[in-house]
Every structure is written in C-alpha cells, then in structure tokens.
C-alpha cells in the first residue's frame, strides 16, 4: 500500500454558485499546464475536489509545483481505497504507521456518500478503535495530535490523507480578466503583479525602456522578472516601449521638478492605448502610498487624471519590508536588486515635486506637442512572450 493520489482542495472559489463549473474548469487547465512534464499522471475533478493519480510518479516535485497554482487552498497525499470498511481500516493503519515520530493521532471522517452504511461519528469510533487495538504505543489526542487522519468517504472511493500542505490560495489565474502590469525593474511591480494574479487576473506587462540611458542589462532584468512571474500564470507577454525620445522631450521642454509627473502621465496614456488594442480592462501598478514622490496622494491624483481605467494597486497600503518579504518568497528579489539603472532613475530630477496639481501639469503639457512622438512610440513597441517552460537562454548550451 502507498500514497497513490494527491487530493486538491479548492479555495474560496468553492463558495461560487452557478459559476463554480467555470472556475473549476480553469483551475483544471492551470494545474494541467503546470504539471505537463509529468507524463504518467492523470487529473480528475469534481465540484469540490481535484485528484491527481500519480501512477508511479514521485509526488514530491509535483507538490512543489502545485504550491504555485492559485485557486488551491491546500493539498495532501492521499490513499484511495474502496468505500468498504475493511479496506478503509487497512489504509488508515498504513497512514498511521508509515511516518516516524508519531505517537498521538486523531481520526476525522467525512461521509460525503450518504449511502455508506456507517455515519461519520460512528466511523470515527470504528477506525479509532481499530487502530488502538491493533497497534502499540499510539494514543488518541483530539486537540494536538501528531497526525490527523482525514477520511473522505465518497461514491467513487474513499480518500485517506494525513498531512495538509497549504496551497497558494486566491482564484485560478484567468478567471478575473486581464490587467496590464506596469513593470519596472524594481522590487515592487513584480510583487504587485503576483498579487493581482493571485486574484485570478491574467497578466500582460508593459515596460518603458530608454537606451542608451538605460542598459541592455536593465531590460534583461525586466525580462527575467517577467519570466519569473510565469511561474504563477504560465504565460506573460511584455510590451517593451522605446521611451527615449519622449523622455528627452520631457527633459527639454518641461521644467525640472514636474518632469516626473508628466512622464508618468505619458506612461499611463501609452498603457491605455496598449490596453485598448489588446482588450485589457485595467492596469496593475506597484505603487505604495507615500513611498516615493510619484506615489503621494497629490501625484496619484494628478497622474490618474489621464486615464479612467481602473488601476489595481495591491501594494498601496503595504510597508516596504512586507513587500520585500513577498518578493523574496516568489524569487523576484534577487533579480530586482541587480544594480542597473532603470528607466525612472536616470531622468528623475534631484527634487521632484511631491505635490503636483492637475492645473499646473495641464498648463505645462499644453505648451508641448507630444502627439507625434507618442504615435511613433506606439508604432515601435516590441512584444516579447514568455511561457513557463520555454528556456530563453540556449545561446550558451554548447558551452555548458
């Protein structure tokens, strides 16, 4: 006997009514894509659970992958047995005695299939009694057991699990529409992207690149971040916007101090045009209130004037340290701290206005005609698509 299944429990999507089917179907697709490399497994689903039949595959690497799939509340290794008393007893015995260092246990039966002749409470006692009288050295502890043996009795069989591994939570990516992530090379924006994806958002990204003021490496850094985010959403397209000309114009025409605000507004305008074209309905940014000059309430108000698209700001109330914690957890931190200039740092005046007003900025912008350069910029956007499995860097493969 051995653990031959992984049982997946749904997150809050299980509260959905008629739409549940749609959520489950999406999660199924996402799990399937995530586990595409494990050729022997089979995945089954119903309204409340998903099951992975291992068919001999090593469960460890599979469970490692599942931790990155949004929509999963928790998962467990499971033994499947017939819904028949003796077989369940045998499986429970295995689950109890297999691990080392277990002294106390608890049995929790859930009888989903009401045709099964023994009720949940009675079955608890039956199984507990069976374990106690056929083993030595174990005792029951209902409050702090070393191991909790969960038994789900269903029509198609009974699943016995012992250890719950927390999943990523959230909603399956692809169930909440698309958003355009303003991706810089910093710590915040990838975390914002991650958190939006957690709520089921399918992400595209836009990056503003200003060669030669920013280097090829800073672009590479953004590409590496994008690639990293595919862990959670399988696919990410990055719209790389050549921003040098517009930045130079701003630098020349707009008084120092206001340049940053105007630049942000232009970024928003470009983003909106990209979103329109791609059928994207919102933006996601890494803004955190008060963190830097462009993220004061006044700046947000002034910058936001140019678009009426919703802007998702998952980090708006987070402290820098909380953001850093998440970035380390999702392995974007080490990429983000690579020390290259990004598009925002080169042109930023030493003392940007922290309290711009809409009136002042509109007045300054009215004196400059950005439209031609804006259209030109939109024409030359480069789109790069990343998928989780594709390996971008095979140029060195002969050396390594």
Are residues 194 and 68 in contact, defined by beta-carbon separation less than 8 angstroms?
A: no
Secondary structure (DSSP) of 172-229: -TTSS-EEEEE--SSSHHHHHHHHHHHBT-EEEEEEEE-TTTS-HHHHHHHHHHHHHH
H or E element at residue 44: strand 42-45
400 touching another protein, by CB under 8 A:
yes
Q: How many residues bind another protein (CB under 8 A)?
A: 11
Measured torsion, CA atoms of residues 38, 42, 46, 50, in degrees rounded to the nearest 10: -40
Q: What does the alpha-carbon distance between residue 77 and residue 165 come to, in Å, rounded to a whole number?
A: 9
Q: What does the alpha-carbon distance between residue 335 and residue 182 come to, in Å, rounded to a whole number?
A: 17
Closest distance of CB 224 from another protein, Å:
9
Q: Which stretch binds another protein (CB under 8 A): 32-40, 209-217, 272-280, 368-376?
A: 209-217
Q: Which of residues 232-291 bind another protein (CB under 8 A)?
A: none
Cross-strand partners of 283: 180, 311
What residues have CB less than 8 Å from 364, skipping those under 6 apart? Answer: 254, 255, 258, 262
Q: Helix and strand tally (H, E) in the chain?
A: 14, 15
Q: Does 264 carry a binding-site annotation?
A: yes
Closest distance of CB 308 from another protein, Å:
40
Among 104, 220, 296, 354, indicate the residue that binds another protein (CB under 8 A): 220
399 touching another protein, by CB under 8 A:
yes
Q: What does the alpha-carbon distance between residue 365 and residue 369 come to, in Å, rounded to a whole number?
A: 8
Q: What does the alpha-carbon distance between residue 251 and residue 386 come to, in Å, rounded to a whole number?
A: 33
Q: Does 252 carry a binding-site annotation?
A: no
Closest distance of CB 335 from another protein, Å:
10
Residue 396 burial (CB count, 10 A): 7
Please name the residue that has the structure tokens 């070393």: 146
Cis upstream peptide for 335 (omega within 30°): no
Among 32, 44, 155, 217, indicate the residue that binds another protein (CB under 8 A): 217
Q: Which of residues 334-363 bind another protein (CB under 8 A)?
A: 334, 340
Closest distance of CB 340 from another protein, Å:
8
Residue 73, exposed/middle/buried by CB under 10 A (0-12, 13-18, 19+)?
middle
Between 120 and 220, whose beta carbon lies closer to another protein?
220
Q: Which stretch binds another protein (CB under 8 A): 162-170, 211-219, 304-312, 370-378?
A: 211-219
Q: Does 38 carry a binding-site annotation?
A: no
E strand segments, 121-234: 139-140, 147-154, 157-161, 165-169, 178-182, 202-209
Closest distance of CB 217 from another protein, Å:
5
Q: Does 182 carry a binding-site annotation?
A: yes
Binding mask 367-396 for another protein (x = CB under 8 A): --------------------------x--x
Between 228 and 288, whose beta carbon lies closer to another protein?
228
Closest distance of CB 220 from another protein, Å:
7
Are residues 152 and 167 in contact, defined by beta-carbon separation less than 8 angstroms?
A: no
Q: Does 400 carry a binding-site annotation?
A: no
Closest distance of CB 8 from another protein, Å:
23
Among 84, 156, 216, 385, indicate the residue that binds another protein (CB under 8 A): 216
Between 287 and 342, whose beta carbon lies closer to another protein?
342
Q: State the binding site for ATP.
A: 182-183, 207-208, 264, 286, 295
Binding residues for another protein (CB under 8 A): 215-217, 220, 331, 334, 340, 393, 396, 399-400
Q: State the binding site.
A: 182-183, 207-208, 264, 286, 295
């Amino acid at each position: 006997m051995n653990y031959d299944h992984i049982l997946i429990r749904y997150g809050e999507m299980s509260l959905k009514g008629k739409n549940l089917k749609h959520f489950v179907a999406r999660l199924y697709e996402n799990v399937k894509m995530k586990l595409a490399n494990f050729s022997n497994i089979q995945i089954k689903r119903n309204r409340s659970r998903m099951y992975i039949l291992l068919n001999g595959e090593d469960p460890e690497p599979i469970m490692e992958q599942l931790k990155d799939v949004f929509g999963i509340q928790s998962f467990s290794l499971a033994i499947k047995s017939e819904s028949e008393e003796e077989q369940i007893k045998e499986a429970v015995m295995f689950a109890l005695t297999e691990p080392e260092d277990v002294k106390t246990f608890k049995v929790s039966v859930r009888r989903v299939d009401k045709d099964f002749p023994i009720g949940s409470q009675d079955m608890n006692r039956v199984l507990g009694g069976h374990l106690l009288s056929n083993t030595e050295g174990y005792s029951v502890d209902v409050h702090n057991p070393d191991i909790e043996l969960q038994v789900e009795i269903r029509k198609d069989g009974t699943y016995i699990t012992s250890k719950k591994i927390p999943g990523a939570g959230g909603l399956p990516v692809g169930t909440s529409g698309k958003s355009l992530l303003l991706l810089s090379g910093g710590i915040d924006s990838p975390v914002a992207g991650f958190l939006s994806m957690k709520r089921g958002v399918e992400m595209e990204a836009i990056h503003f690149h200003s060669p030669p003021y920013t280097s090829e490496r800073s672009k590479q850094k953004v590409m590496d971040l994008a690639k990293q985010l595919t862990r959670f959403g399988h696919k990410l397209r990055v719209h790389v916007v050549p921003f040098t000309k517009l930045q130079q114009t701003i630098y020349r025409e707009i008084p120092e101090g206001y340049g940053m605000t105007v630049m942000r507004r232009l970024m928003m305008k470009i983003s909106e045009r990209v979103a329109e074209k791609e059928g994207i309905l919102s933006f996601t940014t890494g803004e955190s209130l008060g963190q830097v000059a462009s993220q004061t309430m006044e700046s947000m108000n002034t910058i936001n004037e140019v678009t009426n698209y919703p802007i998702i700001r998952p980090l708006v109330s987070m402290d820098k340290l909380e953001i850093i914690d998440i970035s380390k957890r999702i392995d974007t931190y080490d990429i983000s701290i690579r020390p290259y200039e990004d598009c925002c740092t080169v042109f930023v005046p030493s003392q940007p206005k922290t309290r711009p007003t809409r009136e002042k900025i509109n007045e300054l912008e009215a004196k400059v005609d950005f439209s031609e350069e804006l259209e030109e910029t939109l024409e030359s956007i480069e789109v790069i698509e990343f998928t989780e499995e594709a390996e971008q860097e095979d140029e060195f493969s002969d050396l390594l």
